């Protein structure tokens, strides 16, 4: 197969029946999220680069190494969205958000990150995400987490653990950073080169390092909340207490910081123990944030999460289908002589009854057309020749039994419904 026909590594083509599974994930999201008042939003797949840099954070892996950024013909720097939150907040701010007002939206769609492709790590991947924007309140966080769990439950996914922590508030983070820096400075020689740089630039990013050599050091680092003050701890206690009241199970993950810089207060991840996922076991990530938008000095508060659709499907055991496939065909419309035009009209009529029809568009012998009907897996073939067309009749052949009858076209709907209903 020509290499040029292959999709770019880290991207893929999607075919039925896998596409139906994607639609199932989206429909379940619509159903569950609307119970909590979330409406759907669709934002552009590319934005001005500053929309992402300002909100996600200049020091993050995503901004430093993974964004697909390009200059358009007008000389503007644009970026394919690496995640959904920044664009959604831009759209909400653009539509106008009153002080103290709350807006709840969900989205589905492709995101783009220039990562090294691996199982569960793609360059074009798809997220289902939610954002509750405009207020800062621990009840919102607990409710948002409960909604994520309800969604996974609705899909029938168990073996999922909820990891929970807090990033604290920025006012308390300055002092906390000192504490964290003091710990890592003592062991800096054992850190990887990237982490040695992070020590000065953004010490919290060290907690997110996946290098094996750094792991043990990170495991013994101080718990984030132990370095934070009263405001961060009180907010977190309220979230936890509300989760307890709602019966949502969680595991405290005292060093979880997440890879994006807009978070403050609650952060969480949903990890799966399913074998299919291997190292990329985070099905979803989220938390509370304050997002900076270009041209505004005010930050916008909110809470949300995003689920990776590819990873959800892997956890559900849905595998990629590399073969082109069509929708199921129930009826194959064959024609002979000059009856093709009439056959196409009849096919349209049959479709108006809600029946899936393939009308043969090539001139083929009857034998070749019946072979095609079999190949499509059609339950019935309709045959229209010049005589049938003139008499307003049609021949209907049951493909499995081989039985065929000629009947008035006026009786066809009832006849087909009988045959198709019985299979």
**Of 103 and 397, which CB lies nearer to ligand HAM in the complex structure?**
103
For ligand HAM, which residue of 50, 59, 115, 238 counts as binding (CB under 6 A)? Answer: 115
CA pair distance 307, 131, nearest whole angstrom: 12
CA pair distance 341, 345, nearest whole angstrom: 6
CA pair distance 406, 100, nearest whole angstrom: 71
Query: Does residue number 47 form part of the binding site for ligand HAM (CB under 6 A)?
Result: no
Among 306, 229, 301, 228, smallest CA distance to 269 is for: 306
Closest separation between CB of residue 262 and ligand HAM, Å? 8
The values of phi and psi at residue 399, to 5°, are -70, -30
Closest separation between CB of residue 125 and ligand HAM, Å? 3
Q: Within 13 Å and on the Cβ side, how many CA atoms surround 340?
A: 10
Query: Does residue number 85 form part of the binding site for ligand HAM (CB under 6 A)?
Result: yes
Binding mask 304-323 for ligand HAM (x = CB under 6 A): xxx-x-xx------------
Query: Does residue number 121 form part of the binding site for ligand HAM (CB under 6 A)?
Result: yes
For ligand HAM, which residue of 87, 129, 134, 168 counts as binding (CB under 6 A)? Answer: 129
Query: Does residue number 113 form part of the binding site for ligand HAM (CB under 6 A)?
Result: yes
Per-state percent for the chain, helix, strand, coil, to nearest 5: 45, 25, 35
**Of 121 and 398, which CB lies nearer to ligand HAM in the complex structure?**
121
DSSP assignment of 30-74, as one string?
Answer: HHHHHTTT-EE----SEEEHHHHHHHH-TTSHIIIII--EEE-TT
Binding mask 255-294 for ligand HAM (x = CB under 6 A): ----xx---------------------xxxxxx-x-----
Query: How many residues form the binding site for ligand HAM (CB under 6 A)?
Result: 27
**Of 97 and 420, which CB lies nearer to ligand HAM in the complex structure?**
97
CA pair distance 24, 366, nearest whole angstrom: 39
First to last CA, the chain: 38
* List of residues contacting ligand HAM (CB under 6 A): 83-85, 113, 115, 120-122, 125, 127, 129, 131, 259-260, 282-287, 289, 304-306, 308, 310-311
């Amino acid at each position: 197969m020509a290499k040029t026909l292959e999709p770019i590594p880290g991207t893929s083509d999607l075919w039925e029946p896998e596409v139906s599974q994607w639609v199932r994930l989206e429909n379940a999201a619509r159903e569950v999220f609307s119970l909590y008042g979330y409406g759907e939003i669709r934002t552009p797949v590319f934005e001005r680069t500053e929309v992402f840099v300002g909100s996600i954070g200049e020091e993050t892996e995503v901004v430093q190494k993974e964004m697909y950024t390009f200059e358009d013909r007008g000389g503007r720097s644009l970026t394919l969205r690496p995640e959904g939150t920044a664009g959604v907040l831009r759209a909400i701010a653009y539509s106008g958000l009153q002080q103290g007002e709350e807006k709840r939206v969900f989205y589905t769609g492709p995101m783009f990150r220039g990562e090294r492709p691996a199982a569960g790590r793609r360059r074009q991947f798809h997220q289902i995400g939610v954002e509750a924007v405009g207020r800062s309140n621990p009840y919102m966080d607990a409710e948002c987490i409960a909604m994520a769990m309800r969604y996974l439950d609705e899909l029938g996914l168990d073996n999922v653990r909820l990891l929970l922590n807090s990033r604290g508030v920025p006012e308390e983070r300055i002092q906390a950073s000192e504490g964290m820096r003091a710990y890592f400075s003592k062991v800096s020689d054992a850190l990887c080169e990237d982490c040695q740089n992070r020590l000065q630039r953004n010490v919290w990013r060290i907690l997110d390092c996946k290098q094996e050599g750094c792991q043990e050091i990170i495991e013994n680092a101080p718990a984030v909340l132990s370095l934070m003050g009263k405001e961060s701890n009180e907010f977190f206690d309220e979230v936890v207490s509300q989760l307890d009241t709602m019966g949502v199970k969680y595991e405290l993950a005292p060093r979880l910081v997440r890879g994006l810089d807009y978070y403050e207060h609650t952060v969480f991840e949903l990890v799966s123990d399913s074998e299919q996922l291997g190292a990329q076991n985070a099905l979803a990530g989220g938390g509370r944030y304050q997002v900076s938008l270009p041209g505004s000095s005010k930050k916008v508060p909110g809470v949300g999460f995003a689920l990776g659709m590819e990873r959800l499907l892997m956890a559900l055991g849905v595998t990629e289908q590399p073969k082109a496939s069509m929708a199921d065909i129930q009826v194959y419309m064959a024609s002979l002589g000059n009856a093709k035009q009439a056959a196409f009209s009849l096919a349209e009529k049959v479709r108006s009854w809600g029946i899936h029809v393939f009308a043969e568009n090539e001139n083929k012998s009857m034998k070749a057309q019946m072979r095609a009907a079999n190949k499509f897996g059609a339950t019935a073939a309709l045959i229209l020749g010049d005589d049938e067309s003139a008499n307003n009749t049609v021949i209907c052949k049951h493909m499995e039994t081989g039985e065929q009858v000629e009947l008035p076209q006026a009786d066809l709907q009832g006849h087909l419904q009988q045959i198709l209903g019985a299979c």
